[in-house]
Amino acid sequence: MQPSDIYYDQLVKNRGRLQRFYFGAFFLILLYKLFSALLISQVGMNPIEYQEIDPTYWVFMITGIPGFMKGGIAVIFDIVLLTSCLLSCILPRQRVSAIIFFCCYFLYFVLFNMTAGHHYANIAILVISFAFVFSDKLFGFSLQFSRFAFLFIMCSAACWKIARGNLFYPHQLDRIMLSHNLGYLMAGYKTTKYQLLKWFIQHPRMTHCIWVTMIIMEFSFIIGFFTMKKDKLLLIIYILFVIGGYFLTGIFALENLLFLFILYPSFNFISGLPVFNNEKIYRLQFLNN
């Protein structure tokens, strides 16, 4: 039996647990957005919509969707987004709410980027929730496909840097560190962070070594296309990559942390949690029906 077949079987058997876990995590992120006033009804649509040269955003402009998203409609939209997410978490044996959530989140993703004035690539919720759109029969494949999508994102990021000659460009990371922390450095707080940033910016060779290491870390995700046996290593690499990226450049995307849970060891961890017991979920479903 191939490792992927084992994985596939386990995914199907544990759909309920996985759906609870992932949608629980999505819901926590949405709650964070709610309390940070980042939902569509709270941010409100910017009169200058940032569409860029992206046909999907153009479709939104043509259909006039951003124009509709105000007042009561925006509030209803946010309620549907939150409710469909919560329902998918507490009733994990149905996928209607998961489909509604996927569609709403796609709308949210595009509309938020339009109003925020930048096309953020915080795509983890979209990639993972896509898997739950499918029936039990196909769910194992769709979740595995999401795993491949994550691997592609990481490898692709490395390939872009290599193709543009960035691997051997010694000043990339020190320039990112400088421009991203300009305000902090100008304030001149003599903290450990300040001292570290100063040291790295003044030692571009050392900073270049870290930059090369980060690109290698991204490229190492190519292993995942060949085997799942190294997923534990990839998980550790991703954690180090996120921590390193945050401390060195200040770049952090909360949503994209969810990609940690698309790798095989995380899946084992989720399945092993006693609170996500399939029998209990079935009983809850039965009681609800």
Partner 1 sequence: MLLIDFLKTVKKKSAVLFWSFLTIIFFQLACTFLKMEVTPFLLYGMYSEKIPVQNEFRIVEIEVNDVPASSLNLSGWHSDILYTGYENYNNMLRNNGTDIVKTRVEERYHFLTRSFLYPFLKNKIYNSKSGLANFSKWYSDKFSQFAHIDVRTIRVYSTIIEFDPASFTFIKQPRKLIATF
Q: Show the tokens assigned to 32.
A: 């964070």
- Of the candidates 255, 256, 239, 242, the residue with the CA atom closest to the CA atom of residue 29: 255
Tokens in use for 227? 């085997």
Q: Which is nearer to partner 1, 247 or 282 (CB)?
A: 247
Which residues have C-beta within 8 Å of that of residue 206, sequence separation ≥ 6? Answer: 200
Q: Which is nearer to partner 1, 153 or 257 (CB)?
A: 153
Tell me the residue length of the chain.
289
CA dihedral sign of residues 36, 39, 40, 41: negative
Residues contacting residue 141 through CB under 8 Å, at least 6 positions apart? 8, 134
Q: What's the DSSP call for residue 140?
A: H
Least distance to partner 1 from the beta carbon of 239, Å?
19
* Minimum distance of partner 1 from residue 69's CB (angstroms): 13
List own/partner pairs for 98-103 with CB under 8 A and 24 or more apart.
98/19, 98/23, 98/129, 98/132, 98/133, 99/133, 101/23, 101/26, 101/129, 102/126, 102/129, 102/130, 102/132, 102/133
Q: Which is nearer to partner 1, 166 or 285 (CB)?
A: 166
Among residues 3 and 272, whose Cβ is nearest to partner 1? 3
Residue 157 or 270 having the CB closest to partner 1: 157
Specify the residue, 133 or 284, whose C-beta has the smaller distance to partner 1: 133
